[in-house]
Structure 1
Amino acid sequence: MPISPVEFASLLCSRLCHDLLSPIGALNNGLELLGDESDPAMRKRCLDLLNESARVSANKLKFFRLAFGAGSAFGERVDVREARNAIEGLLGDNKRLTLHWAVEEQMLSKAAVKVLLNLALIAGDTLVRGGTVTIGAEETADTTEIVLQAAGDRVILDPELRATLVNGMAEGADGSITVTPRAAAAFLIHSIVDEAGGSVMVGDPVEGSLLFGAALPNR
C-alpha cells in the first residue's frame, strides 16, 4: 500500500528527532550541571560539554536541512561544496569514520544532492566498527550517476534498509508491508530516484566493502 505524504513527513520528523535527541539531551544535562557546580575545573568541563553538544546539534541540523528539507535557499542546482560540508559535519563527529570525496562536479541537481546525502547517511551507519566512506558522482548530458563505497572491518546493512532502497517498502515480521522511521532516508532515496525514472543499486558486502549506487536521468 503506498505511503501517504503525511505518513512520510512523520517518518522524516521521527528520524530527525531521534538523531537530535542525544546531543540536545547532552546540552540540557550540561546546563543542569553548570547551574549546580561551583568548582572552576568542573565548570570548564561543563562548558566544554555544552560547546561540543551545540556543535554536534548544529552539524546535524545543517545536514538534515539539505538532506530532508525543501532546500528553498537553493535553486534547482546545488553547489556540491554545500553537500560536502554537510557530510563532513555529520560523519566527522564519528572519529572512527574517514571520508574520501571523489566528486569533481561543481554543481549537481537538487535531487541528486539529496540522494547523495542520504546514501552517505546510510553508508556511514553500515560501518559499525568504523571505516571509510568514499563518495563519487558524475554528470553527463543524459544521466547523473552516484556511487558510494563503505569499507571497514564490519559492514552491516539492515535488510529493511536494503529492501526499502530497492523496492520502496520492506516486509515486516508479520508479513505487513511498511516503512519505519529508521528507513526514512532509504525511502526518500527510492522515491526521488523512482520519480525521476532512475534506479538504485545496492551490492552485497564483499571483503569488508559495500557499494551503493543511483542513476538519475537528467531532464
Structure 2
Amino acid sequence: MSETDPLLLASQLCSRLCHDMLSPVGALSNGLELLADEKDPQMRQRCFELLEQSARTSAAKLKFFRLAYGAAGGFGERISVDEPRGVIEALAADAKRIALNWEIATPTLSKTAAKIMLNLSNMGLDALVRGGTLDIGAEERDDATEIVIRATGTKIAFDPQLGEALAGKLDPVELSGRTAPAHVLSLIAARSGGMIQTHAEEGTLLLGATLPHEG
C-alpha cells in the first residue's frame, strides 16, 4: 500500500470543506439577492427565515470542521463532551427527522477521542438519508476509550470505501474528498495504537473505535 501524500490529503480535505460549505453559503447569496428584489412583506419574512437557517447551517459546519480537523491545542488535551455534542446536535437539527440518543459516561474526552466521535457521528448522520435514530456512546475503561455510533433507519447509505478508509485499508492514492476524512480518522486512531471498525446491514450501521490511553 502506498504512503499517504500529505499534500494530496490536505487538498482532498479542502475539497470536502468547500463541497460541504457550498450549499449553505450559496443559499445565503441567493437569499440576499431575493431579498433585494422582494417587496411583499410575507415573502421578505420568508427570505429572512431562509437566511437565518442558512447562517445556522454554515456556522454548524464551520464548527464541525474546526473541532473535527483543527489542531489547535494538540491532540492530547482533554475537552468537555459538550463541545462535540453541541456540534452534532446542530448538524442533526439541520438534517431533520433524526433523533439523537446519548450514552456518554464521562464529562471529558481526549481530543483524539472527541475528533473520532464527532466524525463517526457525522458519518452516521449522513447515512440516515431518510431520517432515523442515531445512538452515540462513549466509555472510558482503565486502558482505553471505546466509542460506538449506531445509526438505524428505513434506509442506510454507507459506501464500503468509507469502511475501508476507516480501517486503514484504502490505498491513499485512491483518496477523494469523500474518503479523505475517513482516512484521517484511521491515521489518528493508528497513532494511538487504536482501531476503527464498521458493520453495515439493512437498516443499521455500526461504527466503533477503541483508543488505548496514551502513556
Q: Report matched runs for 1:56-75 at 5 Å.
A: 56-72=57-73
The answer to whether structure 1 residue 21 and structure 2 residue 9 are counterparts is no
Structure 2 unaligned residues grouped into runs of 5+? none
TM-score calculated relative to the size of structure 2: 0.93
Deviations 1:86-120 (A, max 9, x none): 11011221112111111121011000000001101
Local SS of the residue matching 1:91 = helix
Local SS of the residue matching 2:167 = helix
Local SS of the residue matching 2:178 = helix
In structure 1, what is the equivalent of residue 198 of structure 2?
202
In structure 1, what is the equivalent of residue 48 of structure 2?
47
In structure 2, what is the equivalent of residue 77 of structure 1?
78
Cα 1:2/1:170, change in 2 over 3 Å:
closer
Q: Distance in 1 between matches of 2:43 and 2:200?
A: 48
1:143–1:216 contact (8 Å) kept in structure 2: yes
In structure 2, what is the equivalent of residue 215 of structure 1?
210
Local SS of the residue matching 1:154 = coil
**How far did residue 11 of structure 1 move?**
1.5
**How far did residue 75 of structure 1 move?**
7.1
In structure 2, what is the equivalent of residue 186 of structure 1?
182
Cα 1:5/1:12, change in 2 over 3 Å:
same
Q: Distance in 2 between matches of 1:21 and 1:53?
A: 11
**How far did residue 156 of structure 1 move?**
2.5
Q: Distance in 2 between matches of 1:102 and 1:57?
A: 27
TM-score calculated relative to the size of structure 1: 0.92
1:196–1:216 contact (8 Å) kept in structure 2: yes
Q: Distance in 2 between matches of 1:129 and 1:115?
A: 24
The AA in structure 2 aligned to 1:103 is I
In structure 2, what is the equivalent of residue 100 of structure 1?
101
Deviations 1:188-215 (A, max 9, x none): 111101111111111131x522211111
Cα 1:183/1:125, change in 2 over 3 Å:
same
1:190–1:200 contact (8 Å) kept in structure 2: yes
The AA in structure 1 aligned to 2:174 is T
**How far did residue 73 of structure 1 move?**
9.3
2:163–2:197 contact (8 Å) kept in structure 1: no
The answer to whether structure 1 residue 141 and structure 2 residue 176 are counterparts is no
